[in-house]
């Protein structure tokens, strides 16, 4: 039946598919047919040639097309079909000419096509196929295969002149290598952290005396504060609330959330103030002593002029003795007489020697801890080299870590006395 090159439009009547007596060909090409012509095509089990090219047929291929097992010629070019080539076409074992060009087909070229023993001409050009072109049977002869207009294809026989495909094994090796680069440093870091925590815990259990805690009211800490909160608490850092000042900082009295506080504001324009602030914050995290004032919180922000602002907030002591208070975190003392809010004028001479002695021990322990962390991080970096041969042997890592632990605990054991506790 030949109905080609007419002005037929609309859907193909279902009655056409009931003509099971068709055993030679059906040609509906070069019309204006729409819809899915392949629906019901499985009824043509004896059809040898089907030509539906140059229409406006759309949707995906119907799997029923695979029922046309006697097809030797199939022309579907110049339509609007989309999606991939269905697996059902693998049953077309007698196919000799297969033309699916000028559609919107996607995906990879099915591997089963190279099993078509009688295939003489394959045209898949001007679609959107991707992946590697097979090299078996029909694909070995470049004159039998047309693949132009599929920019995402690669490989195939050299005559097709497609670019080489990326080597998947190399890609997998790169992925494994990148994974190892991440896993090994993380594992070393976790191991180091566990050893340090266990060592500190064991030391505390065996050697550290318990320190008397202050009452519950002094144990409460102020939540993290902003510059605006401290500005309001001190009446805009008013001179009336100024307790004292030194080379690196000034101290103001204030009221924050009904708590009397002392705010130590760093003078960041002075050379060395930032270094002093960072060293002080590091020290605050590790040591307790009964002769140092409680640190409530800190603030690192921007002031009203857009400049950096850094401050440490202390609990304010009113005419008290430092011997009556425990410090949760120590501060590094500066040489200036009025650089600490915890000291009242009448107490400074009496207590300065105690503070300097306690802080000297704290500073020594802080330096030892810093040196220890540097050594640990050095090991971590050595474990994270990209090339395996450049990484530190795990046995050497273990020995170094044990040596660092023994050195740290031995040093702390010599320097920690009385109520001084490293946490």
Residue 38, pLDDT score: 57
- Record the tokens describing residue 45, joined without a space: 């089990």
Instruction: State residue 74's pLDDT score.
Output: 92
CA-nearest of 279, 335, 356, 280 to 313 is 280
The dihedral through the CA atoms of 27, 30, 34, 38 has a sign that is: positive
The pLDDT assigned to 261 comes to: 92
What pLDDT digit, counting tens, does each position of 71-108 carry?
A: 899 999 999 999 999 888 888 889 999 999 999 999 99
Region of residue 157 (left: phi > 0; alpha: psi -120 to 50; beta: else)? beta
Distance CA 257, CA 37 (A): 79
pLDDT of residue 235: 92
| pLDDT reported for residue 364 | 58
Name the residue among 329, 341, 351, 328 with its Cα closest to residue 214.
328
Say what the pLDDT of residue 422 is.
35
Summarize the annotated binding site as residue ranges: 264
**Pairwise CA distance, residues 282 & 271, whole Å:** 19
Helices (H) and strands (E) in the chain, counts: 6, 20
Res 172: pLDDT: 54
- 143 touches 157 (CB < 8 A): no
d(CA 210, CA 418): 10
Of residues 311, 297, 236, the one with CA closest to residue 267: 311
Q: Which ranges of 272-347 would DSSP assign to H, the alpha helix?
A: 273-284
Beta-bridge partners for 107: 129
| DSSP summary character for residue 143 | G
Question: How far apart are the C-alpha atoms of 336 and 248, rounded to whole Å?
Answer: 9
What value does the CA radius of gyration of the chain take, rounded to a whole number of Å?
41
Q: 83 near 107, Cβ under 8 Å?
A: yes
Predicted local distance difference test score (pLDDT) of residue 69: 82
Nearest Cα to Cα of residue 422 among 378, 361, 375, 373: 361
Q: Which domains does the chain have, with CATH numbers?
A: 9-160 (3.80.10.10), 187-422 (3.30.200.20)
The model's pTM is 0.41
Binding site residues for ATP, as ranges? Answer: 264
Enumerate residue ranges in the chain where pLDDT < 50. Answer: 169-170, 208-222, 320-354, 356-360, 414-423
Task: Give the separation between CA 85 and CA 116, rounded to whole angstroms.
Answer: 15
DSSP string, 49-117: EEE--SSEE-SPPPGGGGG-TT-SEEE--SS--EEPPPGGGGG-TT--EEE--SSEEEEPPPGGGGG-T
DSSP state of 328: S
């Amino acid at each position: 039946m030949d109905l080609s090159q007419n002005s037929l439009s609309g859907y193909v009547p279902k009655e056409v598919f009931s003509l099971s007596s068709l055993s030679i060909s059906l040609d509906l090409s070069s019309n204006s047919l729409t819809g899915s012509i392949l629906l019901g095509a499985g009824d043509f089990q004896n059809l040898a040639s089907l030509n539906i090219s140059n229409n406006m047929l759309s949707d995906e291929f119907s799997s029923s097309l695979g029922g046309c097992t006697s097809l030797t010629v199939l022309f579907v070019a110049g339509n609007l079909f989309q999606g991939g080539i269905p697996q059902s076409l693998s049953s077309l074992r007698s196919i000799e000419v297969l033309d699916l060009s000028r559609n919107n087909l996607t995906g990879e070229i099915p591997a089963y096509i190279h099993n078509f023993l009688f295939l003489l001409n394959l045209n898949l050009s001007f679609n959107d196929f991707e992946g590697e072109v097979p090299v078996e049977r029909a694909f070995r002869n470049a004159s039998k295969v047309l693949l132009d207009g599929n920019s995402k294809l690669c490989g195939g026989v050299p005559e097709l002149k497609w670019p080489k495909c990326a080597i998947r094994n190399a890609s997998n090796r790169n992925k494994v290598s990148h994974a190892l680069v991440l896993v090994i440093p993380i594992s070393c870091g976790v191991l180091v952290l566990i050893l340090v925590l266990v060592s500190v815990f064991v030391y505390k259990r065996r050697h550290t005396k318990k320190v008397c805690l202050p009452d519950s009211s002094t144990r409460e800490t102020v939540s993290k504060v902003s510059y605006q909160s401290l500005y309001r608490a001190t009446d805009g850092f008013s001179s009336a609330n100024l307790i004292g000042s030194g080379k690196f900082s000034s101290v103001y009295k204030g009221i924050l959330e009904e708590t009397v506080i002392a705010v130590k504001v760093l003078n960041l324009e002075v050379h060395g103030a930032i270094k002093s602030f960072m060293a002080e914050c590091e020290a605050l995290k590790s040591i307790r002593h009964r002769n140092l004032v409680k640190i409530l919180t800190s603030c690192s922000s921007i002031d009203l002029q857009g400049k950096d602002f850094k401050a440490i907030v202390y609990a304010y002591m009113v005419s008290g003795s430092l011997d009556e208070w425990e410090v949760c975190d120590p501060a590094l003392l500066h040489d200036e007489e009025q650089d600490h809010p915890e000291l009242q004028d009448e107490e400074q001479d009496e207590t300065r020697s105690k503070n300097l002695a306690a802080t000297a021990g704290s500073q020594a322990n802080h330096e030892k801890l810093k040196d220890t962390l540097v050594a640990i991080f050095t090991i971590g970096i050595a474990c994270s080299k990209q090339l395996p041969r450049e990484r530190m042997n795990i046995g050497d890592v273990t020995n170094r870590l044990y040596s660092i632990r023994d050195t740290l605990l031995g040093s702390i054991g010599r320097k920690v006395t009385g109520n001084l506790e490293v946490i």
